[in-house]
Amino acid sequence: MNWKRHQPDPALPDVVDTTGGIDPVRVSLASMIGLRHAARSLPLKAAKIRAKRSGGFLSPFKGRGMEFDEVRLYQPGDDIRSFDWKVTARTGKPHTKLFRDERERPILLWVDLRAPMFFATRGMYKAVAAARAAALLAWSAVLQGDRLGALIFSEYKHVELRPQRGSTAALHFMKQLVEHPAWTDRTQATIGDRHASLHALGRLRRVARPGSLIFLISDFRNIDDVAESHISQMARHNDIDMVFMFDPLERELPPAGIYRVSNEQETLTLNTRDENVRETYRQRFDAHWERWRRRSRLSGMYLMSCSTEQNVLHALQRGFGSRGA
């Protein structure tokens, strides 16, 4: 979607390029592969083990290479194989052993390519920023020896990749990401379609194994309460990081004036001279952000943001850094 100021005001560019030469509206396999070196500076290893933050817990499952962490009272959903029978018998209350795997864990990338992601007024499309974030996380996973899986979705096509290890897995993921039809054919997309995210989250729940590290990369629009409940359920047994994509225009209207707004199919007129309209607009974005911030805290997830005009690597580094990783 593009916007420009209506004449006679001075014309503004459709998309202001702040990307330093990055194609703002599409991605290529070469550009995804080129992020491998930059991924070395991404502190994904520190994010692999859940921090002892409010609402957080370590996933209670066993396996080779698991390191004992602690014993706590049983919680609904705990694996019965992790029961500590001695402590349970001694106290008369069911207790569970918690383990952590410091060597590797599945990393899953959930990448949103629905119609609202193909929007920008500054920098690059949200979809481009999301793809670059996903590529950086994928390379970081590979460099640390983790298994990589993904679910890439739009309104009309889902691509599901089971976790695999190695550069081949990362390259296959990036090829599927770059070749997804959402980049070239958005005529089938329905902007208000809520079923796509619900279906994609349902499939992600089936793919995710307890103890996975899941990255949800999206603008989190058109996600209803049922879809949100899928996220909360997954957070009970997995670490979830949410990468919240947005364009500056979604947060704040442009300077007072009259603008033409186009999504390549229709053009609308936007009047930003009314301060009440501007304030209502700001409040709507703030409410959207606050909804997901509150959900992340209640479910023990972590929420970080990335603007279309930001350097994606720096946004991820700052996000991991602010969580104490």
Q: Would residue 54 count as lying in a domain? A: no
Q: Is residue 92 part of a domain?
A: yes
> Has residue 57 been placed in a domain?
no
Same domain, 145 and 166: yes
Q: Torsions phi, psi of 101, nearest 5?
A: -110, 115
For residue 189, being part of any structural domain is answered with yes
Give the range of the structural domain holding residue 71, as residue numbers without chain letter: 66-101
Residues 178, 257 share a domain: yes
Residue 4: the pLDDT is 43
- Does 60 reside within a domain? no
In a domain, 56, yes or no: no
Check residue 22 and give its pLDDT. 85
Tell me what pLDDT residue 189 has.
Answer: 59
User: Is 325 exposed, middle or buried (CB count within 10 Å of its CB: 0-12, 13-18, 19+)?
Assistant: middle
pLDDT, position 53: 35
Q: Which pLDDT does position 20 carry in this prediction?
A: 55
**Pair of tokens at residue 236:** 């009970």
Q: Are residues 82 and 42 in the same domain?
A: no
Residue 27 · residue 177 · CB < 8 Å: yes
Q: Are residues 138 and 41 in the same domain?
A: yes
Q: What is the pLDDT along the chain (325 residues), one digit of tens a residue?
A: 444 444 333 333 344 444 556 899 999 999 999 999 999 988 775 555 443 333 333 443 333 345 566 788 887 777 777 888 998 999 999 988 876 554 467 999 999 999 999 999 899 999 999 999 999 999 999 998 899 999 999 998 999 999 999 999 999 999 999 999 999 986 665 554 668 898 999 999 988 988 899 999 999 998 888 889 899 999 998 999 999 999 999 999 888 888 887 766 678 788 888 889 899 999 999 999 999 999 999 999 999 999 999 999 999 999 988 764 4
Check residue 30 and give its pLDDT: 96
| Same domain assignment for residues 201 and 153 | yes
pLDDT at 130: 98
8 prior amide bond cis, ω within 30: yes
93 shares its domain with 112: no
Residue 235 belongs to some domain of the structure: yes
pLDDT of residue 78: 75
Q: Does residue 61 form part of some domain? A: no
In the chain, how many domains are there?
Answer: 2
Find how far residue 128's CA is from the centre of its chain.
Answer: 13
Could you tell me if 170 and 275 lie in one domain? yes
